[in-house]
Structure 1
Amino acid sequence: MSANQTVDPEEIAELIARCKLSVSVSEFHGALVGYLSAGGHFPHGSVLGALQLEPDPEPSDKEMAMLTRLRHQTEEWLADPELTFSPWLPDEDAPIPERAEGLSEWVEGFLGGFGLGGSVEVNRGMSDEAKEVLQDMAGIATADFEFDPDDDINDESLIELEEFVRAGAMLLHAELSRASRPANDTLH
């Protein structure tokens, strides 16, 4: 893989399976996005270490490089003025319950990563809008989804929630990530 190659969910799924990580692809991606959005930094360069995931066996050097690329790719997408960021969720053709579960897992991961990456000082300065986004995300993570007999209504509702989560993550990232980034934690 070249240094500029985009990392995709299938590659992360393979790493999760090989390293016996106890997260789904959606939860992993949510955790990384939450960590970055809260302004988390990587003093030792390890994505898995920062997210407090314990692989067994350890990732290969090639996999570690892939995780570093994913970190930078995600940071770039979150900050992109063209709004290219999108959470890694089950495909829109997947069954509605699977999509809802993937969304819940992503948000759970996001909240966990946000907690790991944040600081009390930065979080105290959060806007009311940012606080509300976090509260709403907590509600999504703990929701028991009830499905309508009409799949079109379910699909529309899930799309709205997915868009809220996407926009909320970008808002939190824009507000908090730069406030706590140390000068020596450069992005390449």
Structure 2
Amino acid sequence: MSLINERLDFSAIADLFLLHGSLQSPAFLDGRLAANLGLHDISAEAWLAEVCASLGVEQPRDPASAEGFLNWRRQALEALSASELNYDPLLPDELFSLTEQARGLQEWSQGFLEVVDEVGVDKRETWPANLREALEDLEALTAMEVELDEDSDNENDLFALTEHARMVAMLLYTEQHPGQPQVDQVEDPSGAANEEH
């Protein structure tokens, strides 16, 4: 199975982890990936090394696995840098229970913040207030109760929290990569960027 052009989801990456003898959730590493792309423009080689270290292997077990891990990075980078603002964290979907989905979001947030926390406080103080506040909200999310009853209120809350995590990743990326994507055009007072296409 070729993973080069397929849209990778949580289960596809989890399957790759299983092939390498790991039962861990990809969510934590995906959070690290989003923050690393935003802050460090992590290279394909460095990402592959990080994945292997996390899985406790020296290298991917075969070329197809390496291809899958690299496509994971490429997919995240393309979404973070796209003008459509269509980045989505790699999280358990509706096939999983709300508790599993919430745990995945919490792990993603922990991975994301782990990388952000490596940035010096002085540098973080120069970031815009909306980004700093969003990161504080994400920290609160890591401490939330994740045992959720299956009801529509919890489902809606979880959707809102996931949307927040998605926005934090894009905020960080755009702060570190001014003009990429061109999100500031939306506020163009001439209205040119708001025209229907």
Q: TM-score w.r.t. structure 1 length?
A: 0.77
For structure 2, list consecutive stretches of 5 or more residues without a partner in the other structure: 179-197
Within-5 A mapping of 1:23-34: 23-34=24-35
Q: Which residue is equivalent to 1:64?
A: 66
Please name the residue that 2:182 is paired with.
none
Structure 1: unaligned runs, 5 residues or longer: 180-188
Contact 1:12 1:25 in 2 (8 A): yes
Deviation at 1:104, TM superposition (A): 0.7
Structure 1 20/37 Cα, relative in aligned 2: closer, same or farther at 3 Å? farther
Q: What is the 5 A alignment of 1:174-185?
A: 174-176=174-176, 178=177
Counterpart AA for 1:74: A
Other-structure match for 1:13: 14
Q: CA deviation at 1:70?
A: 1.7
Residue identity in the other structure for 1:31:
R
- Structure 2 match to 1:95: 97
- In the TM superposition, what is the alpha-carbon distance from 1:140 to its structure 2 partner? 0.3
Shift of 1:141: 0.9
- C-alpha offsets along residues 72-124 of structure 1, whole Å, 9 cap, x if unaligned? 211110122212211122223532222211111111122124346x5677535
**Structure with max Cα Rg:** 2
Residues 160/113 of structure 1: CA separation in 2 closer, same or farther (3 Å cut): same
Residue identity matched to 1:86:
D
Report if aligned partners of 2:109, 2:139 keep a CA contact under 8 Å in 1.
yes
> Quick check: 1:21–1:56 contact (8 Å CA) kept in 2?
no
Match of 2:36 in 1: 35
Secondary structure of 2:40's match?
coil
The Cα RMSD (Å) is 2.8
Residue identity over aligned pairs, in percent, reads 27
1:99-114 pair list within 5 angstroms: 99-114=101-116
Corresponding letter in the other structure for 2:31: G
In 2, the alpha carbon distance for the partners of 1:84 and 1:92 equals 19
Distance of 1:24 and 1:132 partners within structure 2 = 27
* Native 8 Å contact 2:10 2:91 kept in 1: no
Query: Higher relative CO (CA 8 A, sep ≥ 6), structure 1 or 2?
Result: 1
Is 1:77 matched up with 2:91?
no
